[in-house]
Amino acid sequence: MKKTLALIFAAALAASGAGPEMPRFRWENFSTANGLPDDHVFNVAVDGNRVWAATENGLGLYENGKWKIYRPEDGLVHRAVLYVAPDKRTGDVWIATMGGLSRLSGGRFDNYTQLNSGLPNDVVYGVAVEGENVWVATAAGGGRLNTRTRQWALFNERNTPMYEIWTYGVSATPSKVYYAVWGGGVLEYDVKTERWKDYNDPDGETEMVLYKDQGLIHEITTSVSYAEKDRILWVATYFGASRYDGRNWKNFMDKDSGLPSNFLNQVKALDGNRAWFSTDKGLAYCDGENWAVYRPALDTHKPEMLVRDAAGKVSSVETETAPAHNYVLGMDFQGDDIWVATAKGLSHGIRLK
């Protein structure tokens, strides 16, 4: 089935025409050969002029054109780093790993585990900063550390609408905190009212979509991004993407959008209409009507940029570079540039004017 979808998408290139103007980049790629801690990069986080790479074998910091690596021998709680969240208010960096949570502050690591703190579980998939609170997504529910009082709060099936406790991702804004709950949809926390709300797939089907725009597209969620100014919620799942404006849902699949695949690892919203998607078949961008895909071609592995307009017409844009690999796990932005975490390297997309 996956091969058939890829062939259908590739066949659409027969359409001619330049297509709509979409962001174009010159890509430079990093691997262990030029300083990256490990080629398997789970996440990337931009912190001003600093870029943090969460890899399978350590935390990487790219600054002033050079890499610095942190591993357990340097104080990091575990070598497998899954997510990084800089605190722009304090300058601290919070690091989610397979063996606990670390904070890098003033060049020193503070580590949190089940044994020495209120961390729900040592497998920490995600971390997000909301004011003086640090939120974590773990294999056994969510947690919140108040950095002022040093008190932990735990969130699971006992005190939230969560019926699965495998929280796979967390994102936070000043008004909302969202959890991507593996097999349990999306969990929303209102910072002002301190109330929880859940969003689930209305048909409950695991392999097909019976009601396309009547709710969240699937229960297996991987990432949530909230465009606070526009009050728009974006959700990534293993079966497509969803957008929610507070009243209506809009769902996206590869068969009826510019997504190169329904298997999504992350979504990041720029606003209510524009969002970026990390998929297993490339990096995708939507401006509300048109789509672009950036990747090495699935067959030739040569640099490829595909554009799909609002009418569904797909065209190829000439490009000399591409992200390091098709399997994209995450991204972050540095001005007009974009950094992309892949299964085989870290990529820096330098925006072309």
Q: Which pLDDT score, from 0 to 100, does residue 268 have?
A: 98
Radius of gyration from C-alpha coordinates of the chain: 20
pLDDT attached to residue 214? 82
d(CA 307, CA 285): 9
Instruction: Report phi then psi at 7, rounded to 5.
Output: -65, -40
pLDDT grade for 206, boundaries at 50, 70 and 90: low
pLDDT, residue 202, reads 85
What is the pLDDT at residue 13? 39
Within 10 Å of residue 302's Cβ, how many Cβ atoms? 10
pLDDT digits (tens, 9 = 90+) for 333-348: 999 999 999 999 999 9
The pLDDT of residue 8 is above 70: no
Q: Which tens digit of pLDDT belongs to each residue from 212-222? A: 778 999 999 99
Q: How confident is the model at residue 2 (pLDDT cuts 50, 70, 90)?
A: very low
Residue 79's domain spans which residues?
Answer: 2-351
H or E element at residue 4: helix 2-11
- Residue 213: its pLDDT value, please? 77
pLDDT of 1 > 90? The answer is no
pLDDT tens-digit map of 124-180:
999 999 999 999 999 999 999 999 999 999 999 999 999 999 999 999 999 999 999
- Give the number of residues written for the chain: 353
**Beta-strand (E) ranges in 16-132?**
25-30, 41-47, 50-55, 58-63, 66-70, 81-86, 93-97, 100-105, 108-112, 124-130
How many domains is the chain built from? 1
Tokens 């932990």, located at residue: 152
* pLDDT tens per residue, range 24-77: 999 999 999 999 999 999 999 999 999 999 999 999 999 999 999 999 999 999
Indicate if the pLDDT at residue 7 is higher than 60: no
φ, ψ of residue 17 in degrees (nearest 5): 110, 150
Per-residue pLDDT, averaged over 322-340, amounts to 98
Write down the pLDDT at residue 17.
Answer: 45
CATH number at 111 reads 2.130.10.10
For residue 139, the 8-state DSSP code is: B
pLDDT confidence of residue 207: 57
Q: What is the spatial distance between Cα 129 and Cα 53, in angstroms, rounded to a whole number?
A: 18
Q: Are 141 and 155 in contact (CB under 8 A)?
A: yes
* C-beta neighbour count of 65 within 10 angstroms: 6
Reading phi first (left if > 0) and then psi (alpha if -120 to 50, else beta), residue 31 is in beta
pLDDT in tens, 235-273: 999 999 999 999 999 999 999 999 999 999 999 999 999
β-sheet bridge partners, residue 248: none
pLDDT confidence of residue 353? 84
